Amino acid sequence: MFDKLFKKKPRHEQTDIERRFNLIARVGQGSMSKVWKATDLKTGRTVAVKVLEKEKTERFEARFRGLNKPHEGEISTSLHHPNIAEATEFGWTTEDEMFLVMDFVEGVSLSLLVDLQNEEMKRFRLRYMIQIGDALSYLHAQNWIHRDICPRNVMISDEKCVKLIDFGLVVPNLPEFRKPGNRTGTAAYMAPELIKRQFTDHRLDIFSYAVTCYEMYTKRFPWDAALTLDAVLQHMNQPPEEITQFVPGIDSQIAQAIMKGLLANPDERWQSAAEMVAVFREAESRLVKLAREAAAKNRALEPPKPAAPQLPPASQPQPAEAESATADKTDSQQREDRKPTKRPAGKVRKRRRPDDDIDLTAMFSED
């Protein structure tokens, strides 16, 4: 499939997206695109329609002139992973702007959760970190470099599931696309080799991933925030601030994994996203086990609940009344028992089970 994306591209038809879709509301805007929540009038589905700004897209694609680089629509529709927003279609508007049709993700941006640092963030951030890493590992396995991993490009669905949403800066992981000069991305998440215009590869994404994880715990960057590439270049020559300074209680295994991803020399970083995710998974498994053991210990220390008094039903005779009633019925009952019972021809008597008189619902009642 990767090779098919480099074939010569045919001329494209144009679509009037205002006739094809009911554009309900703008829900986002990137540096090179606008996104609408929309209803697909062909299918009735609620979708996200992303429209790329023509001039900015052409300036970006011009960097790869002669390399026959696949465009965002081709790349996005080739990706199929539970932690990547599914793109089902792409085309061109009547203004000759590319548009993409994607699954609409009900949820919030990860950047909002980073700012809030609320209970959801604290409870699920390790899960989110693992899912981002899974999406990145899949992307690298398909031989792509993302080049813009950051919280702004991650959605968290209402089902607490990560969805990577933007592939506008993605390039193939091939020598001609790894040459110095393509310095694109979000400044604060850029790897040192990218800023210094050195050769790059997929490990620049691992650096951006580590910055994202660091921010998810601390609500800040590993260095003082920088708004320009010059400022970024200055602090890239300094080691990052230890994450334990800002989150003293962070698990040491998680802290070490994040800090290793931030190393300036790509040869000293994690060599794959899968390696970094494996450490997070190991930490998650250990922490879950410890939490369950602590919960079980707390339950064992709780005093037992007093048993509820067992009162006889109001309709049941009291012991003295029951004894008198039994004595009155003895003679007549014995006479009735001696009478032979008539059974319909061919009908077999149903044998009683030992538990027929047991209230089985009481056996399964909760304490």
DSSP assignment of 181-202 equals T---S-GGG--HHHHTT----T
Is 11-104 a domain of CATH 3.40.640.10? no
Tell me the chain's radius of gyration from C-alpha atoms: 33
- pLDDT at residue 346 in the model: 47
CA distance 70 to 144: 11
pLDDT tier at 231, thresholds 50, 70, 90: low
Report the candidate in 195, 204, 200, 254 with the shortest Cα–Cα distance to residue 228: 195
Span of 64-68, 99-103, 220-224, 228-232 with lowest mean pLDDT: 228-232
Question: What tens digit of pLDDT does each residue of 80-135 get?
Answer: 999 999 999 999 999 999 999 999 999 999 999 999 999 999 999 999 999 999 99
- pLDDT at residue 168 in the model: 92
CA distance 147 to 144: 9
**CB burial string 143-163: b at 16+ within 10 A, e below:** ebbbbbbbbbbbbbeeeebbb
Asked if 124 contacts 113 with a C-beta cutoff of 8 angstroms, the reply is no
Report the candidate in 52, 54, 50 with the shortest Cα–Cα distance to residue 100: 50
Which helix (H) or strand (E) covers residue 320, if one does? helix 319-338
Domain edges within the chain: 11-104, 106-295
User: What is the number of other CB atoms lying within 10 angstroms of the CB of residue 22?
Assistant: 13
Asked if 56 contacts 50 with a C-beta cutoff of 8 angstroms, the reply is no
How remote is the C-alpha of 187 from its chain's centroid?
Answer: 25
Share of the chain above pLDDT 70, in %: 78
pLDDT tier at 357, thresholds 50, 70, 90: very low
Which long-range CB contacts under 8 A does 17-23 form with residues at least 24 apart? Answer: 17/49, 17/51, 17/93, 17/99, 21/47, 21/49, 23/49
**What pTM did the predictor assign?**
0.78
CA distance 367 to 365: 7
Question: What tens digit of pLDDT does each residue of 269-289 get?
Answer: 999 999 999 999 999 999 999
pLDDT tier at 152, thresholds 50, 70, 90: very high
Task: Indicate the angle between helix axes 119-141 and 203-218, nearest 10 degrees.
Answer: 180
DSSP conformation class of 134: H
DSSP conformation class of 63: G
CA distance 270 to 259: 10
CA distance 163 to 160: 10
Superfamily per CATH, domain 106-295:
Transferase(Phosphotransferase) domain 1 (1.10.510.10)
User: What is the number of other CB atoms lying within 10 angstroms of the CB of residue 311?
Assistant: 7
Question: What tens digit of pLDDT does each residue of 13-67 get?
Answer: 899 999 999 999 998 777 788 999 999 999 999 999 999 999 999 998 888 888 8
pLDDT tier at 9, thresholds 50, 70, 90: low
Strand runs (DSSP E) across the chain, as ranges? 14-15, 21-29, 33-40, 46-52, 87-93, 98-103, 107-109, 144-145, 154-157, 162-164, 171-172
